[in-house]
A = this chain, B = another copy of it.
């Protein structure tokens, strides 16, 4: 069985790796694997997020992926470091509203069997001395983050080490069970996985409307750097009704994100995006101003028509989708990859992925 995956972001690469591991011949096609939304993402892996409170199916999908992450990483690290840490995620409340939201989050997580530790203001200060004064915090000690740049590099290494192929060219169209590249060459497939984020529906040659339109939702994100790292653990700073993601890496990188902008296929980093993130970071970490400004980048999150992932078969025989993960591609990579590998091998995919069949939109 010859499988072609169009799209070498974290979703496509993870699916390719699991498919190859399941014994399929695998070819990934991407002009620059790991260079788009996966390259920009902060890679935070929080236990829960706002969307999960009232979306039961999404909640179960996320919990399944969270459960898979440690073994997914452990297997991947037989090939290369994956950049994973699960030494805690701290939700820090900088105002009364945020403090109230921690109560709700704590009972929600406990109802799901996800460990939490409620921290006083002083305890937050002790754990994360770089923070401005807070009202309190909630530590999820078993959660964390992954460095998506390290993760995608490891996935490429693993795919190639197992004999899979990564073709660094653009896919232009599908024709006769083959993907035609930008140099005119055709790569034949038995089954095809489209995992090209917000470019997924842009591959020509499939029946009109067969692939739902995936809209780009721009996110700008800033990377700062200090030695030693400014923050001890991954955090969300909650204030004024919003949440600022702060993802420290062991090498001193501090990712600050992110904006949400609906502006089409625009990957421009702007003065406003940059200054807005820096101002929000300075409001919660007074010492952040002295940190080295390392990078600002913009990625396009893939938003499906109902803002939920698309995982599984389409109405076109032998064509599968793994896209539309919006803000949760890195988080949902393990469960998505398991599901796609199962579909491709005619095995039973994880039941939690069933509601995310692309056929729901057909």
| Residues of A that sit less than 8 Å from B by CB | 222, 224, 268-275, 278-279, 281-282, 288-293, 296
Contacts and interface: CB of A to CB of B under 8 A. Distances in A.
A273 to B, nearest CB: 7
A224 B292 CA distance: 19
18 contacts: A269-B293, A270-B289, A270-B291, A270-B292, A271-B281, A271-B288, A271-B289, A271-B290, A272-B282, A272-B290, A273-B293, A274-B275, A274-B278, A274-B293, A275-B278, A275-B289, A279-B279, A293-B296
B292 A269 contact: yes
Secondary structure call for the A interface: helix
A324 to B, nearest CB: 28
B278 A271 contact: yes
A267 to B, nearest CB: 10
Chain copies in the assembled complex:
2
A259 B271 CA distance: 17
A275 B281 CA distance: 11
A296 to B, nearest CB: 6
Nearest to A224: B271
A219 to B, nearest CB: 15
Q: Which of A222, A289, A296: most chain B Cβ within 10 A?
A: A289
A288 B269 CA distance: 12
A124 B292 CA distance: 37
B274 A274 contact: yes
Q: Which of A222, A271, A293, A296: most chain B Cβ within 10 A?
A: A271
A274 B289 CA distance: 9
Contacts of A272: 282, 289-290
Q: Which of A268, A269, A289, A293: most chain B Cβ within 10 A?
A: A293
A270 B296 contact: no
Nearest to A272: B289
A279 B282 CA distance: 13
Q: Which of A224, A269, A275, A291: most chain B Cβ within 10 A?
A: A275
Contacts of A281: 271
Nearest to A278: B275
Nearest to A296: B293
A279 B274 CA distance: 10
A244 to B, nearest CB: 14
A24 to B, nearest CB: 42
A275 B271 contact: no
A331 B337 CA distance: 60
A352 to B, nearest CB: 40
A93 to B, nearest CB: 23
Contact of A275 (B268, B269, B270, B282): B282
Contacts of A278: 271, 274-275, 278
A224 B279 CA distance: 18
Given A271-B292, A274-B278, 9 more contacts: A269-B293, A270-B289, A270-B291, A270-B292, A271-B282, A272-B282, A274-B293, A275-B275, A275-B289
